[in-house]
Chain A
Amino acid sequence: MSADGYRVRGRDGEWEIAVGLEVHAQVISEAKLFSSAPTAFGAEPNTQVSLVDAAMPGMLPVINRHCVTQAVRTGLALEAEINLTSVFDRKNYFYPDLPPGYQISQYSRPIVGEGRVVLDLEDGSQRTIGITRLHLEMDAGKSIHDRRADATCVDLNRAGVALMEIVSEPDIRSPEEAGIYLRKLRSILRYIGTCDGNMEQGSLRADVNVSVRRPGDELGTRCEVKNLNSVRFVMRAIEVEAERQVAVREDGGEIELETRLFDAERGETRSMRSKEEAHDYRYFPDPDLLPLTLDPAWVEAERARLPELPDARKARFMADYGLSAYDAGVLVAEREIAEYFEAVTAGRDGKQAANWVTGTLFGALNRAGIGIEQSPVSAAALGALIDRVADGTVSNRAAKDVFEAMVSTGKDADAIIEEQALRQVSDEGAIEALVNQVIADNPDKVADFRGGKTKLMGWFVGQVMKASGGKANPKAVNQALRAKLDG
C-alpha cells in the first residue's frame, strides 16, 4: 500500500489522517544561544552554566552569532524564506528548570519562514511536505526527580542551549510518511552540520499534531502528542492517536484540542492538559534583545557556502553512476555513507561499488551494530578489493570471503588473498586438467549432455569449481568445458 492511501479502518468506514510535526533540533554550537557556557553532552550536572543561564539578577542575554548562522543555513537547506528581521519573544511560565521564568523564543516573527522537504516514498513516488517556519529558542534545564527522595534536583547544563523548532504543515498522511519526513529532515540537518540528529541524547525531539477526517472532509481538530524521541515512537504515537480519535468520533464524541503524552509501554496516548488548562504564555518581545536583522548579502553568501544536499546528490549519483533511485537514496541518506561510497567508486564501476556498499558492507556493519564511521574496512581498502575482482585475481565468490577476513583481521585484500591462497586459477593448463578429470569421471552425464541435456552445463561447471576449491576462474572453466563437451 502506498503511504498516500493510508487509512484508519474504523467501525463505520475509513478515516484519513493529517499530521504535522514540530521538531526540536539542538543546534551544533560550542556555546549556548544567549551565553558563552559550553554545550557538551553528558557533563557533570550544573558544570556548564553561566550567570545568564542561571538567571542571576541583572544578567542579560546576548545572541550567539553562530547559532543564527546555523538557523539560516538550515532555512536555506529547507528551501525556505529567510526573514531579514526577526524578533525574540519571551514565553512566560514557571518551572524550576526554567531559571528566568520565561523561555526566549520567537513567536510572531521567526527567523525562517515557509520552506519544503521532498520525501521519497517506498513506492518510488515523491511527496512534498511544507515547512511552516523555523525559529530559534533556548532549551530549559532538566528536573531530576529520582535522585533524592525528599527533593527534586535541577541540572541547568541544558538551560540556554540553542534549539531550532522546525514546524511542518499538516501535510503528512501516514505514520510511514512521518518516519520518512523525520529521517529526511535529520539527514538534511546532518549534511549541513547544524544538528547531530542524535535522538537518544535528545538532540532531536518531535511533537506530532494528529487529526483524523473522513476522506475529502476538512481537517479535523488536532491533538498534540509531545516529546517523542525516536522515529519508531513518532510512527507508533501517530498510529495509536489516530485510532483513538477515530474511536472517539465513531462513538459520537468530539476531539478536543489538547496536549497528550505517549506511553510507549502501553502503546497509548494520555491527556496531559486540555485547552482550558493550557498555559497563557503571555508572549511579548524580549526587551533585553533588539530585533535580529540580517544582511541579505550575508544570507546569499551562506547560501553559496551550503554543501551539496541529499536531493542533489541523489540525482547526481543516478546520473553519474547509473544507480537506481533506490540505491542512490540509500547511499545519500547519510552524508558519511555518501562520502564513503564516493571514495569507493572513484575510478571504478558505480553499480559494483554500490552493490558492495549497500550489500556486503552494510551487512557487516549491521551485524556489528556500528555506523559507517566505525567501519573496519576503509573505503580505500574496499576499493582495492573491488579492483582484485575486476582484474580477475579473485572470483566474486571468493571476494566475499576476502571481505569477511578484512573485517575480522583489519588486513588489506592482497594480504588476505596471499595468506589464504584465494587467488583465482585462470591458468588454462590447470583448468583443462580439472575439466578432463571431471569428464573422465562422469561418462554418463557427458553422454546425456551430448544427447541434448545442455542444462547439465551448470552441473559440470559446479563440479570443476568444486574440484578447484572454488579458485578456478568460472569464465575460463566455462570456455574449457564447452570446448571439450561440444567438441
Chain B
Amino acid sequence: MSDLTALTIADARAGLAAREFSARELTDAHIAAVECARDLNAFVAETFDAARAAADDADARLAAGEGRLLEGIPLAVKDLFCTRGVRSQACSNILDGFAPPYESTVTANLWAVGALMLGKTNMDEFAMGSANVTSADGPVINPWRRRGEDKPLVPGGSSGGSAAAVAAGLCLGATGTDTGGSIRQPGAFCGIVGMKPTYGRCSRWGMIAFASSLDQAGPLTRTVEDAALMLQAMAGHDSKDSTSIDRPVPDYAASLTGDVRDLTIGVPAEYRMEGMPAEIEALWAEGVRWFRDAGATVVDISLPLTKYALPTYYIVAPAEASSNLARYDGVRYGLRVEGNDPTEMYARTRAAGFGREVRRRILIGTYVLSAGYYDAYYLKAQKVRTLIARDFESAFETVDAVLTPTAPFAAFAIGEKMDDPIAMYLNDVFTVPASLAGLPAISVPAGLTGDGLPLGLHLIARPFDEPTLFRAAGLLESAAGFSHRPDQSGAGRAV
C-alpha cells in the first residue's frame, strides 16, 4: 500500500484541499494498486479511463476552490448498482453483457459531490451469499491470511469485492448493499467499517433488487468518519423510490464527538450463541468495558425473538427474491438461451443464467408463497418480523444502541461451509435482526483472533438515529485502536 492508498477519505480530502497531492495522483495510485492486486478478484470491471478523466475534472474544481464533499475521492462500486454504460450484472450470468443506460441514485449522488469510480466490485450473485463464493465472476480472496497460513480466505459477502478492495487499499471507500448483513459481515471479515443505514435512508432506485423490503445501500470504509462522509453523500429522499423516506440528512461526521457519557448501551443476552468462539465472547466483553470506561451506561437487555430472526429472514428474503428475479427471462436483456417456445426459452435461460444458490432461493421463495403454504410460511414470517421490530422498539425505550458481535466467527477458507447452506446462513445470525427491523447498524473492526484475523463489533440504533450510531461506533473505534492492516503476503500484522 503506497502512502496515498493508505489514507482515509478524511485525510485525502484534507490533502487534496491543501494541494499536497492531486486527485489525479491519488487516482493513479489506486489504479496501480488495483492492477497489482488483481489476484484478489475484487474488481469485475475497471473504469480507469473514466476515473482519470473524473480526477482531472476534480483537480480543476479543487484548483478553483470549488471542491465538493468527496471531490476527487476514488471509490469502488458493487456490481449490484446500475452504472451508466458500465457492466451492472450483480455478478450473474443472467445479466451477461448488461450495461444500463441509467445511473443508480446512490452512485449518482456520489458523483454529484465529486467522487469518482475506479470500477465495479465482485459480489455474491444477486447478493445471495455470505462468502462471495456464489459470484459468476469467481470468488474474491480476502487480503487477510491466518497467521502462518497461505490458505485463501473468503472476504465475507455479499459485498465481498467491496470489502476486500477497501481492506487492501485499492480504493478509499466502496458502496455495498446489505439485505441481511451483506455490508457488515464482510466489513468484519476484512477488518474495516461496514455500515447499513435505516431502511429508506438511501434510494434503492437503480440498485438491482434482491429483497426489496430489506435491501439498503451503505458504505464500506476504513474508518467510522469515512463511513459518515460517504453516507452523507449517498443518503437522501428519492421520489423514484416509494420506500425512500423524505427527511433531512443530518451532518453525520459532526456527530462524531467522542463523548458517549449520555448513552445507554444494551447488551442482548440472546446473542450469546452456543459454540461461539471464546475470543468473540471476550471481544464483546471488551466492547462493554470500553463503553463503561468512556462513561456510558451499559445494561443487559433481552431481545427474546432473536432466534426466530434467521428463519424469518430465510422466508421473507427468498419470497421477495423469487418475484424480483422473475424479470430475468431472456426476453429483453441479458442472457437468452433459445427454445422451441417461450416456456422452454425461459427454462433454458434461467437454468443457464442463475447459479446454484440463486436457484435454491428462488425455489424456496416460490414454495413459501405457494397456495396452501403462504399462511404457514410467508404470512407467519411477516408477523414474526413485526414482533422482532417490536422487540427492538421496546429495547430502545431504555437504550440508545445495542452492542453485539458482527458475526459468530472470523473469515473462513474458500471451500469451507460450502456443502451446508444452513451453516453458511449462520454467518448472518447477528446482522439479520436489524435488517428485518429496518434499523441502522454498523460493524467496527475491534480486534484480532488468535490466528490474526479481524473481528468486528456490531452496533444497532433507532430508526434514522445514524448520528448516535456513528457516535457510539466512533467510541468503539478509538477505544479498540484497531490499526491492523492485511499483509497479502502472509498473516495480518500490526503496522
Contacts and interface: CB of A to CB of B under 8 A. Distances in A.
A31 to B, nearest CB: 14
Interface string B192-214: 00000000000011111101110
Given A96-B331, A101-B327, A102-B326, A290 B242 contact: yes
Given A57-B88, A57-B90, A280-B371, A63 B332 contact: no
Interface magnitude class on chain B: 35 or more
A284 B374 contact: yes
A101 B100 CA distance: 20
Given A57-B95, A96-B342, A101-B329, A284 B378 contact: yes
B116 interface: no
Contacts of B302: none
A243 to B, nearest CB: 32
B473 interface: no
B451 interface: no
A266 B267 CA distance: 75
Contacts of B243: 287-290
A222 interface: no
Nearest to A143: B342
A61 B329 contact: no
A144 to B, nearest CB: 13
Interface string A65-109: 000000000000000000000000010101110011110000000
Nearest to B200: A290
A199 B378 CA distance: 40
A58 B331 contact: no
Nearest to A95: B342
A226 B196 CA distance: 48
A287 B332 CA distance: 23
B209 A54 contact: no
A96 B341 CA distance: 11
Given A56-B100, A101-B329, A61 B242 contact: yes
B223 interface: no
Interface string A20-62: 0000000000000000000000000000000100111111111
B63 to A, nearest CB: 36
Given A58-B205, A62-B242, A100 B326 contact: yes
A476 interface: no
Contacts of A283: 369, 374
B104 A58 contact: yes
The CB with the most chain B CB atoms within 10 A, among A59, A152, A283, is that of A59
Contact of A58 (B82, B213, B242, B322): B82
A141 B322 CA distance: 22
A282 interface: yes
Contacts of A284: 319, 323, 369, 374, 378
B241 interface: yes
A287 B243 CA distance: 8
A389 interface: no
Given A92-B323, A100-B327, A101-B327, A280 B370 contact: yes
Nearest to A56: B100
B242 A96 contact: no
A372 interface: no
A57 B369 contact: no
A121 interface: no
Contacts of A299: none
A92 B326 contact: yes
Given A51-B102, A55-B327, A287 B213 contact: yes
Interface in B311-366: 319-320, 322-323, 325-327, 329, 331-333, 342-343, 346, 366
B239 interface: yes
Interface string B88-129: 101000010010101010000000000000000000000000
B242 A57 contact: no
Contacts of A99: 327, 331-332
A257 to B, nearest CB: 14
A94 B204 contact: no
B240 interface: yes
A154 interface: yes
B323 A282 contact: yes
A94 B209 contact: no
Nearest to A62: B242
A287 B371 contact: no
Nearest to A91: B323
Contact of B332 (A55, A62, A102, A288): A55
Contacts of B208: 57-58
B342 A152 contact: yes
A288 B200 CA distance: 11
A58 B206 contact: yes
Contacts of A63: 242
Contacts of A101: 323, 325-327, 329
Contact of B323 (A90, A95, A152): A90
Nearest to B207: A58
A57 B98 contact: yes
B495 to A, nearest CB: 39
A290 B378 CA distance: 18
Contact of A287 (B98, B104, B211, B239): B211
Given A57-B82, A92-B326, A99-B332, A282 B370 contact: yes
Nearest to B345: A96
Given A99-B327, A280-B370, A289-B242, A57 B100 contact: yes
Contacts of A288: 209, 212, 242-243
Contacts of B327: 55, 57, 99-101
A90 B325 CA distance: 13
A468 B319 CA distance: 88
B242 A60 contact: yes
Contacts of B322: 92, 282
Nearest to B213: A287
B139 to A, nearest CB: 23
A95 B342 CA distance: 8
Interface in B360-410: 366, 369-371, 374, 378
Contacts of A280: 370-371
A59 B204 CA distance: 9
Nearest to A92: B323
Nearest to A292: B242
Given A57-B88, A58-B82, A287 B212 contact: yes
Given A60-B242, A287-B213, A102 B323 contact: yes
Contacts of B370: 280, 282
Contact of B366 (A57, A102, A282): A282
A282 B240 contact: no
B329 to A, nearest CB: 6
Contacts of B204: 58, 60
B369 A62 contact: no
Nearest to A52: B240
B120 to A, nearest CB: 14
Interface in B197-249: 204-209, 211-213, 239-243
A61 B243 CA distance: 10
B234 to A, nearest CB: 15
A160 to B, nearest CB: 13
A438 B309 CA distance: 108
A415 B142 CA distance: 95
27 contacts: A56-B102, A56-B332, A57-B82, A57-B98, A57-B333, A58-B104, A58-B208, A62-B239, A62-B242, A92-B322, A94-B343, A94-B346, A95-B342, A96-B331, A99-B331, A100-B327, A101-B326, A101-B327, A102-B323, A102-B326, A282-B323, A284-B374, A287-B212, A287-B243, A287-B320, A288-B243, A289-B242
Interface of B: 81-82, 88, 90, 95, 98, 100, 102, 104, 204-209, 211-213, 239-243, 319-320, 322-323, 325-327, 329, 331-333, 342-343, 346, 366, 369-371, 374, 378
Given A55-B332, A58-B104, A288-B212, 5 more contacts: A56-B100, A92-B323, A101-B329, A102-B326, A154-B331
Q: Give the top 9 A-B pairs by smallest Cβ distance, nearest first.
A: A101-B326, A282-B369, A287-B212, A287-B213, A55-B327, A58-B206, A57-B208, A58-B82, A100-B327
